[in-house]
């Protein structure tokens, strides 16, 4: 990972939503969002693989389980595996927005290819996971990793895409600051000798791939 970057000297929650993928975004919107940060469709497919670890709140995917159509309150997303839908409904009752569910059931604490196998089997938890099957480039990557016998290619690709992401909004020299605490700007007296961290935009974008 290249070093020498600095963080922005302002921090606002209002900056998050316009610069991170929304739970219901379609693949065209996702690719367009990534393109704004000079990231490709492949970067989207690769970085989405971070969903092999972490959890999501029921609120992030409950629209796929209930009220999927305006005429049937019990309707679920037909692109979601029916058995998986039943499992998720058992974990997230209607109206439950707070329960946490593994993004990659079965290996949610292991960085592996389980996420891609889930997505290929119509068991991607988020609509943005399922959306990867609706673009030729992202679908091809998902299917290749789902059928891979070893994670070597994914691991190498993830490292490369993470470096690409770390280049978003890079600040150097006196254009920013090196934060002592990643989530907050330094107080006026903070030293500039703290350990170097990623740019603020990169942190924002990275955060959406781990816990939702």
Binding residues for substrate: 21
CB atoms within 10 A of CB 36: 10
Could you tell me which residues are annotated as the binding site?
21, 51-52, 104, 112
Nearest Cα to Cα of residue 27 among 104, 113, 116, 137: 137
The helix/strand/coil state of 123 is coil
Could you tell me which residues are annotated as the binding site for Ca(2+)?
52, 104, 112
177 exposed, middle or buried (CB, 10 Å; 0-12, 13-18, 19+)?
A: middle
Nearest Cα to Cα of residue 68 among 54, 44, 48, 88: 88
Cβ atoms of residues 138 and 129 within 8 Å: no
Nearest Cα to Cα of residue 151 among 117, 105, 121: 117
The helix/strand/coil state of 164 is helix
Could you tell me which residues are annotated as the binding site for heme b?
51
């Amino acid at each position: 990972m290249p070093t020498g970057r600095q963080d922005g000297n302002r921090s606002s929650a209002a900056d998050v939503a316009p610069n991170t993928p929304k739970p219901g975004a379609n693949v065209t919107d996702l690719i367009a969002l990534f393109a704004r940060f000079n990231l490709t469709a492949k970067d989207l497919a690769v970085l989405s693989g971070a969903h092999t670890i972490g959890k999501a709140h029921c609120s992030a995917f409950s629209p796929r389980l209930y009220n999927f159509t305006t005429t049937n309150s019990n309707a679920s997303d037909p692109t979601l595996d029916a058995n998986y839908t039943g499992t998720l409904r058992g974990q997230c009752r209607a109206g439950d927005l707070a329960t946490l569910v593994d993004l990659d059931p079965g290996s949610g604490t292991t960085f592996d290819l389980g996420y891609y196998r889930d997505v290929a089997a119509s068991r991607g938890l988020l609509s943005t996971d399922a959306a990867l099957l609706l673009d030729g480039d992202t679908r091809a990557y998902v299917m290749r990793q789902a059928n891979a016998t070893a994670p070597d290619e994914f691991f190498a690709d993830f490292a490369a895409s993470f470096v690409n992401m770390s280049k978003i909004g890079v600040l150097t020299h006196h254009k920013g600051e090196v934060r002592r605490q990643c989530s907050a700007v330094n107080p006026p007296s903070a030293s500039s000798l703290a350990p170097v961290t990623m740019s603020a935009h990169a942190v924002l974008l990275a955060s959406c791939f781990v816990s939702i």
